[in-house]
Structure formats: structure tokens, C-alpha cells
Amino acid sequence: MSPDAVPAHTAAVPRTATTEARKVLLGGAGFAALFIGGMVLSGLIGTGTYPSPLDSEAAAASYFAANQGTVLAQGILHTLAALPLALFAGSLGNRQARLAGWAAAAALAVSGLLNVAVPVLGATGDTLHTLHYLGFLAGGQIHVPLLGLMVAAATRAHARRAPRWTTVLGAVAAGLAVLSLVSFATEAVMLLLPLGRFTSILWIVITAVRARPAE
């Protein structure tokens, strides 16, 4: 064998690692960009604040009537965001993290599709209330705790190899996200939903950037 030759099985290892690293990068960055992009777009072109199901039905009806295009665009972007999140989750080395991540992606996709259904169907009255409530539930109290479970499992699995600060961030993000499940019971802790969501997204972005393949 030539001294310059590289055995096929040896070359395959770094190639596989590079492919997985690219999936983590594309998945994490794509999810963050599409999800946050949907929220930024809503803030830029929408009027008023997206209503909580706890707000009055009149306030919700007024918002959706005035922001049909905004709701449609945000719903599409958040549905699309589920795809790179599933890719990111599938690239994690821990089985529990993968399953939780795929479940979080499914919940986000359901939430996005329910939001899309509101302007497409021209929903009003009880139909609007039901779609709004279920969409908020799927994208909030279901999606966020599952995202936290994914972060928790991945953080625990990679604690020995990752920098301590990312492990701490992952633990904090996971704790906030999982605790947001309590918002089912009381409005007083509703703030845990955005705190858990965006600290988890921050951990995902940092993990994605750290995983980028070396040039």
C-alpha cells in the first residue's frame, strides 16, 4: 500500500462526522432563523400584540381580522421551522434528546398549521377560538417543555466534552422550559414560556455554531 493511501474505513469516519456537524449547524441555525423570523415579521407588519387564549374573545377576533396576512406568514414560517428542528434533533447523539426534539418539532408544526388554518378558513366565533387555543397550546405548553427535555438530555449526554458554560446554559434553559408546563395551571407563570423558549433557542444556536465543521 502506498504510504499516502488512506484506508476507506478511516476516511469515512471524518466524513461522517463532518456530515453530522453540518446537519447540526444547518438544523440549529435554520430553526432559529425561521422561528425568530416569523416573530420579527409579525412585529414588523402586524398591528397589535398576538393575543393569548386568556384574552377576551373580542380582542382575539379583532387581532385576527386585522392581521390575516401576518398570521398566515408567521404560521408558514413556524411550520417550516419544524423541519430544521427535526434535522437538528436527529443529529444529536442521545436517543432521549432525539425523541424529545422530534416531538417538539411535531408540536411546532401542528401549531404553525393551526395558525395557517385561521386566515385560510376565515375562522370566526367558536372555530376561531378553538384553532387559536389549540395552536397556542401546541406551540407553547407542549412544544416548549419538549424543547427543554431535548436540551436537558443533550446537555447531560455531552457534559464531559462541552465547555462548562454551555452545560450551565443548557441546564438553565431546560429547567425554565420544563417548568413552563406549570403555565397550564396558572397565568402567573406564563413568563416561563418565552424564557424557556428563547434560552433553549440560544443553547441550540450555540451548539450549532460550535459543531460547525472545520475548514
- pLDDT for res 5: 41
pLDDT tens string 175-189: 999 999 988 777 778
Contacts of 30 (CB under 8 A, 6+ apart): 81, 83, 84, 87, 88
Give every residue of the chain whose pLDDT is below 70, as ranges. Answer: 1-17, 213-215
- pLDDT for res 6: 36
pLDDT tens string 91-127: 988 899 999 999 999 999 999 999 999 999 999 999 9
